[in-house]
Copies of this chain bind each other. A is one copy, B any other.
């Protein structure tokens, strides 16, 4: 058996704790409900119980290397606290790292969950063997992360990778961040629903209007289902989504010239609806292509090694492979390589 680390994925709904071997095997995963109402102390207690259970169980087979955790929100990396989290009300300023290290007597690394997903994809997923990459996580908004030489690039105060708020429309839709025209206003689940409701309000989008009034929850998935069935209004929304994402990615490619850009998150399952217009924008706007004469290599579920072999020195834009486990793998990796 092998040395292992413990990964924690603390979400607003689920708290997941896993033992992962140093070569990337998931040894065991525990899924608990996140008991937010009982407060941070209680959640941390449950987390530590599970960590101790797993570390005790697998210690026989190899060394226990440490604990890494991904948490949704803005993390103060120096203090080891949550600065701000919409999903964890009441956690702002709570000394997460200090409490956990005190209870466990072991080193504990804490980072943003989007960063952890990127590190997971870089370690074992779409960007395996690709040391320099960025990831966009398409969900309610757009999360982002940069990995350089196999480690998260945090920037000055942990805010690097906030690609969702890169402006792509000078006079665009207002954003909760205080700006307007941010990329995530056009390429996220929220954006899909907004564009659908606007199309319904303008009239002449009968399929969308019917779906919205059907009673069931009307979300990005409903619009995607219509797009798949050929509804032109729904398809137009995902084309706009792809254009916005392509414009964002083109700026990233021109500015960063990384080997690979991985697209993950729940909304990435609508890939076939938005990818064509995304690649169209990229081909037109990404300067590096003009010099190295590549096209973006549209990866499906291929392994990175195959993609790289096919692409030569071309820029790769592809889908994430690890789904919701990416963050767990990333947190396990962080426990080994550090922040």
Contacts and interface: CB of A to CB of B under 8 A. Distances in A.
A159 B259 contact: no
Interface string A266-295: 000000000000000000110110111000
Number of copies of this chain in the oligomer?
2
A305 B291 CA distance: 39
A76 to B, nearest CB: 10
A93 B166 CA distance: 37
Nearest to A154: B257
Contacts of A247: 167, 170
A338 interface: no
Interface stretch (A96-104, A206-214, A248-256): A248-256
Contact of A132 (B84, B156, B285): B156
A313 interface: yes
A85 to B, nearest CB: 12
10 contacts: A146-B255, A155-B256, A156-B259, A161-B257, A162-B255, A165-B287, A168-B168, A178-B290, A179-B287, A255-B255
Interface string A211-249: 000000000000000000000000000000001000100
A153 B257 CA distance: 10
A68 interface: no
Shortest Cβ-Cβ A-B pairs, 8 listed: A155-B257, A160-B257, A166-B251, A179-B285, A159-B257, A165-B287, A162-B254, A159-B288
A169 interface: yes
Contacts of A154: 257
Interface residues of A, number: 49
Given A156-B315, A168-B167, A287 B256 contact: no
Interface string A156-200: 111111110111111000000111101000000000000000000
A247 B169 CA distance: 10
Nearest to A252: B255
Contacts of A153: 148
Interface in A51-71: none
Contact of A178 (B160, B252, B284): B284
Given A250-B167, A254-B166, A255-B166, A313 B156 contact: yes
A258 interface: yes
Contact of A144 (B162, B180, B255, B284): B255
A42 interface: no
Contacts of A288: 156-157, 159, 162
Contacts of A162: 254-255, 257, 287-288
B290 A160 contact: no
A179 B163 CA distance: 21
A177 B287 contact: yes
Contact of A170 (B168, B252, B315): B168
A79 to B, nearest CB: 13
Nearest to A169: B170
A74 interface: yes
B256 A160 contact: yes
A258 B159 contact: no
Given A160-B256, A169-B170, 19 more contacts: A84-B291, A132-B156, A146-B256, A157-B257, A157-B292, A159-B291, A162-B255, A162-B257, A165-B254, A166-B250, A167-B251, A167-B285, A168-B170, A170-B243, A177-B287, A178-B284, A179-B287, A180-B284, A255-B256
